[in-house]
Amino acid sequence: MLLSELVTNAVVHGKPDGTRILVKLAVRDDVLRVEVHDRIEGTPLPRQAAADAMSGRGLCLVDSLALRWGCGPRGDGYLGKVVWCETAPEDE
């Protein structure tokens, strides 16, 4: 669900016509890091969606489900940003 929400946001809000998004996954010390890179600058913020709204809850879900998440510049010489989140298996 975390990957789906971040990719959906990138496709809807962070992808000018004709550009691609980049998804990176990495595991370290039982923590999965999900990164979605797009070509639009700016920091996405969770917002309170109206009860009858068909969208607008994605980052609130990410904020609730991930251990942590954030956004920063891509840092690879390209314009845009990377939105990331981290998750880990729950203790039994």
- Interacting residues of 78 by C-beta distance below 8 A, sequence separation 6+: 37, 39
- For 13-54, write each residue's pLDDT tens digit: 877 777 889 999 999 999 999 999 998 888 887 777 777 766
CATH of domain 2-87: 3.30.565.10
The reported pTM is: 0.85
Contact 74, 83 (CB under 8 A): no
Q: How far apart are CA 42 and CA 71, in angstroms?
A: 9
Q: Phi first, then psi: give them for residue 6, nearest 5 degrees.
A: -65, -40
